[in-house]
A = this chain, B = another copy of it.
Amino acid sequence: MEDVAREAGVSRALVSIAFRGVSGVSDETREHIFAAAQRLNYQPNRIASLLASKSTSSIGVFLLDLHNDLFADVHDGIRKAIAGSGKHMVLSVGSVEGELDATALNALIQSRVGIIIAAGLLLPDEDLLKFSRSVPILSTARRVPGLDSVYSDNLSGAQAATRHLLNLGHRRVVFLANPQTDGYLERQKGFVTVMKEAGLTPEIQPSAYSRTQAARDIGPLLDHPDRPTAIFAHNDQSALGVLDAIAARGMRAPSDISVVGYDNTSASTPPGIALTTVDIHAQDLGRTAAEKALQRLTDPGAPIIDLASEPTLIVRGTTGPPPHAS
């Protein structure tokens, strides 16, 4: 910067002003400065800038898993909302095993981001509250009591999906569940309440966040002579695993068995057989989350944000009447 100042024949302060885009420098001088910077191939040192301004100009973003398109959508939404705010986004990626949550959050804290937008946190609510003593955290796609949360109403989404199945005539429906941890209980709950209301037995098959694991977990149920007529998977990826297991047995959806996913990611539209699923509008979630995060930055004292959005049931090709319903 010293060099640029000398090259442009001004003081360092001017160069700083010019690069930050704040007022206090004439257009002409600014041009000179930029030209000089160009000549010297100068790029401002954001590390030094952050230190000196002790600023909150960075927004940390935690994404659970790059292999799930859901998080790519959330990322896109966040990026769009942040663009033009002058804020810079710092990414940190977790893992579906969950053992990286804390590491990723600490990395963000150590990078002194002004706020963390977190999508797909796996840590218990209590732990997250602890982290939020160091930095504000806005949770998206999951409600965390005590933290700003921008999420989709999983209860109503799961209810809509389950009702769709029941309306089609299904009576034996199995919910392929995600690990039942803080923040991810509602889908199963929605399934259970609707089944019970209808006087049916809600069957639950526990599984994990993995397509292959889903295929393995659902296998025995499919092999059973008296198998369910519909499977409701906790997300699209595991629904794909269910479809894998179905295809491996020479069966077809929905003629032999119906399948419903959740999230409406790109995974829900394999060629030929598009998955019935629940759209959580992930990109909107990301965009809204980022807008709210920006607000939080300007008003730390504002009341906690708790924003639920309505998901949309998308009926596509993997659901139909049960085999012998007619």
Contact = CB atoms under 8 A, between A and B. Distances in A.
Contact of A66 (B41, B47, B72, B110): B72
A131 to B, nearest CB: 10
B41 A133 contact: yes
Contacts of A91: 91-93
A13 interface: no
A46 B244 contact: no
Given A133-B41, A271-B244, A75 B46 contact: no
Interface residues of A, number: 42
Interface in A214-256: 240, 243-244, 246-247
A137 to B, nearest CB: 14
A14 interface: no
A92 to B, nearest CB: 8
- Stoichiometry, as copies per complex, reads 2
A89 to B, nearest CB: 9
B43 A109 contact: yes
Interface of A: 41, 43-48, 50-51, 65-67, 69, 71-72, 75-76, 79, 88, 90-93, 106-107, 109-112, 133-134, 211, 240, 243-244, 246-247, 266, 270-273
A47 B47 CA distance: 6
B271 A43 contact: no
B246 A112 contact: no
A88 B107 contact: yes
Contacts of A106: 43
26 contacts: A41-B133, A43-B106, A43-B110, A45-B51, A46-B112, A47-B47, A47-B51, A47-B111, A47-B112, A51-B51, A66-B66, A66-B72, A67-B69, A67-B266, A75-B93, A79-B93, A91-B92, A91-B93, A240-B270, A240-B271, A243-B272, A244-B271, A247-B272, A270-B270, A271-B273, A272-B273
A159 B259 CA distance: 39
Given A43-B134, A45-B112, A246 B271 contact: yes
A281 to B, nearest CB: 16
A47 B50 contact: yes
Kindly name the residue among A107, A109, A111, A273 whose own CB sees the greatest number of chain B CB atoms within 10 A: A111
Contacts of A273: 271-272
A43 B106 CA distance: 8
A134 B50 contact: no
Contacts of A240: 270-271
Nearest to A88: B107
Nearest to A239: B271
A245 B134 CA distance: 51
